[in-house]
Amino acid sequence: MKFFDVDGISKKTISLLFLLKLIFGFTLWAIYTFYYTDRATADIYKYFDDSKVIYSTLKTNPIDYFKLLFGIGNNTAAFDHYYSEMNYWARKVDSSIYNDSHTIIRFNAVVRLFSFGYYNVHTVVICFLSLIGLTAIYKTFVTHLQDKKRELLFAVFLLPSVLFWGSGVLKEGLIFFALGLLIYYSNKLFSIKAIVICLATALLLAFSKFYVWLAIFPSIALLIWTNKTSSKKVGYKFILILLFIGAAGLNIDSFTNIQNPLVTLSQKQYEFNLLASGQLTDANNKAIPVANSIIEINKLEPTVYSFLKNSPKALVNSFLRPYIWELKSPLMLLSGLETFLIIFILFFSLFFIKTIKEIKWEYVLFCLSFVFIQFLIIGETTPILGAIARYKTIALPFLVIALLFIIDKEKLLKKVPFLKKY
């Protein structure tokens, strides 16, 4: 594919990256098949098993298959018998929040057309889609990081969380696919092809994980504005964007039927607290045990004051945790080592920072805005360390990319010459 003609990465390397993702994807499958054996609570199987219900309608009523797949005319009593067979189509708690599990269930229902129910065919497909998205992210930034191509490759493709969670049959793979293409084509906007792809991927991203779409929106707006004008006064432009989006978002319930985002966040925290404290049941109506890595987070009221008051602790939880003494499983150990690595990179970036004029602030702000909004949302709503470690996967490449933009590589190698080997 012409898309994989990439500056700084050979076709052979792309193939090796794809194979590496497959290895991690199969490893994730093995862990949740032979180690964590409760299929009813394993995310890789929950939505895969539910997709069988939609796929089976092809034999009995093909029209219903397409209605379920595209969400057209499927909210009637005639479809209730399908939903009763699916364990994760409906939420365990009444909520006005869109159930983004529908997207991954529908994805699996499509792949079943040629997988015939073999799970790891789905792994191959999700790894390829994720690879496309990650390649698009790399292509977006490599033009501006010509002296750091290898470091950028590491930041985008090789972070442990990205390899592990981004290679399984999970929402993360679809998110990377949609997010990468949205960013890449937003940078090339104002052609018909770019507009169509941006609209399609923005829609897919919103239905896959709404808060990721919400987090990237200010960054995309900044990128389009600076591309159409210049990178001068980028700080002022960014502040104006945040003020406009913030004011519109916090008052959106005044002029539309959309729920206030602060109410949505407080509901999300409430649902997560029920799950973490063992007050919900699994697909077999067995009580879900109290989470092993539960932490205490401050109650979030649907007010700006409550959100701001909880923000420092939310950022600490998202960025620094799990702490070393909280590493209770191999997966948590992976996250802990990754956090240590990023702090290590952060230290060198700040110690060997470029001059203010040398830094391309539009891209630093692009990345950091995306990271901090995600970290805030995750930290404000999630009381389970294991979930935090997984959810922040999408943000981590952009955090490292921001650090690559500010670090002076030549100054670093002069002061610490042994790093040239690495």
Q: Is the overall model pTM greater than 0.75, yes or no?
A: yes
Specify the length of the chain in residues.
Answer: 422
Let me know if residue 339 belongs to a domain: yes
C-alpha 165/C-alpha 172 separation (Å) is: 7
Residues 6+ apart with CB under 8 A from 297: 269, 310, 313, 314, 317, 379, 380, 381, 382, 383
Q: What is the pLDDT of residue 403?
A: 95
Q: What is the pLDDT of residue 283?
A: 62
Identify the CA nearest to 269 among candidates 170, 379, 370.
Answer: 379
State how many domains the chain has. Answer: 1
Let me know if residue 65 belongs to a domain: no
Q: What is the pLDDT of residue 393?
A: 94
Identify the CA nearest to 394 among candidates 107, 164, 231, 113.
Answer: 164
Residue in the structure block whose two tokens are 């194979």: 19
C-alpha 223/C-alpha 361 separation (Å) is: 11
Let me know if residue 29 belongs to a domain: no
Let me know if residue 295 belongs to a domain: yes
Bridge partners, 353 (sequence order) = 407
Residue in the structure block whose two tokens are 């040239």: 420
Q: What is the pLDDT of residue 93?
A: 56
Let me know if residue 74 belongs to a domain: no
CA distances from 204 to 48, 49, 162, 178, 312 (A): 18, 21, 19, 6, 31
Side-chain-side CA neighbours of 39 within 13 Å: the count stands at 8
Let me know if residue 393 belongs to a domain: yes
Residue in the structure block whose two tokens are 């790093």: 419
Range of the domain at 306: 211-422
Bridge partners, 281 (sequence order) = 287
DSSP type of residue 1: -
pLDDT in tens, the chain (422 residues): 899 999 999 999 999 999 999 999 999 999 999 988 888 778 899 899 999 999 999 988 899 999 999 888 888 888 888 888 888 887 655 455 567 889 999 999 999 999 999 999 999 999 999 999 999 999 999 999 999 999 999 999 999 999 999 999 999 999 999 999 999 999 887 788 999 999 999 999 999 998 899 999 999 999 888 888 877 888 899 999 999 988 888 888 888 888 888 888 998 899 888 888 888 776 667 777 788 788 889 899 999 999 999 999 999 999 988 777 777 777 778 888 888 889 988 988 989 999 888 989 999 999 999 999 999 999 999 999 888 989 999 999 999 999 999 999 888 888 888 888 87
Q: What is the pLDDT of residue 314?
A: 93
Q: What is the pLDDT of residue 121?
A: 97
